[in-house]
Structure 1
């Protein structure tokens, strides 16, 4: 199946699962996702995202990370076709609608470079292949962050277990994820299934 067909299939699958189990699943994946983070954040920046309908809600995980000493950030869309920027954010801070309608921190918020990026997705496979919405924002962003030098940015996809597929068609510009957390466990992509729900 091509990417267009996969997106149609996975949007419907994700929407149905989220309506029935989304809230519980967002809480259930937190302990699995935390396996990818040191017990104390010591000020490292984690870029989350503000969920659109159907996406895994990252806020339970972001609260847990903030409690561990991590600083939070949210993405901002600068220009169509460009990579995402990131601005510091914490629970209770004001958000405003960005160019595409997504909520993001205002321009007065501090610009930051994340150490970790929580990545939303439509589908994933065991090798870290990711299918996004089709805009290419995260592929461009992860490429830009990788080319910026300094410490490598860590990536963690957040998904429902129903979003896993056997294999995704990957193109040269597609960026693979290091790991994916679901309500059933944690995939260390390229290695093995680490937590509950294996095989």
Structure 2
């Protein structure tokens, strides 16, 4: 008997969604990143709003085209740095010409000398998402911890970036899982703020 979405584990759902993402060609990935950038943010960018992106790894959708667009609209950019498992990410100011370095997980990060900032908007990578705004990440919980920590300080908007192929019927969300405000794909924008 095949597992239904409600009985499949996060690990199984993650693996299936990542396989769908990995199956996309480089051209499809690049076109999707451009489509997301062309549609833009689901709200107006306010001058000096801090928008944090991420350095894409594996087959993640590249946030750079969208980040460049919001920077041209007056946003300040930042990228996350991993401190330790179970701790909030830190965010450092970033611009496209900055020199980057490999962080503890082998992901490119801004220099530790870059100013630490608290983003107003976090662009978040993911393995899978559903239509309630729940996401499956890679299992370390970095973004859940970060949202929980930062939202004690200010109302940080969470925007997942994904390919349409990463949508699943239902994420088995736990009490500590933080729902996103939006998900942007190459085909549409999902707004979860009313849930």
Q: TM-score, normalised by structure 2?
A: 0.92
Counterpart position of 2:96: 91
Instruction: Please tell me whether residue 59 in structure 1 is matched to residue 69 in structure 2.
Output: no
Distance, in Å, in 1 between the alignment partners of 2:139 and 2:25 is 20
> Which of residues 57, 66, 85 in structure 2 aligns to 1:80?
85
Specify the SS of the correspondent of 1:155: strand
Instruction: Please tell me whether residue 9 in structure 1 is matched to residue 16 in structure 2.
Output: yes
The alignment's C-alpha RMSD in Å is: 1.4
Instruction: Please tell me whether residue 126 in structure 1 is matched to residue 131 in structure 2.
Output: yes
Moved more, 23-32 or 98-107: 23-32
Counterpart position of 1:32: 39
Specify the SS of the correspondent of 1:87: strand
Q: CA deviation at 1:83?
A: 1.0
Specify the SS of the correspondent of 2:23: helix
Q: 1:15 to 1:90 in 2, by over 3 A?
A: same
Q: 1:18 to 1:41 in 2, by over 3 A?
A: farther
Q: CA deviation at 1:41?
A: 2.7
Specify the SS of the correspondent of 2:116: coil
Counterpart position of 1:137: 142
Distance, in Å, in 2 between the alignment partners of 1:87 and 1:52 is 18
How many residues align structurally? 188
| 1:102-144 superposed Cα distances (whole Å, 9 cap, x missing partner) | 0001110000000000010011111101010101000000000
Q: TM-score, normalised by structure 1?
A: 0.90
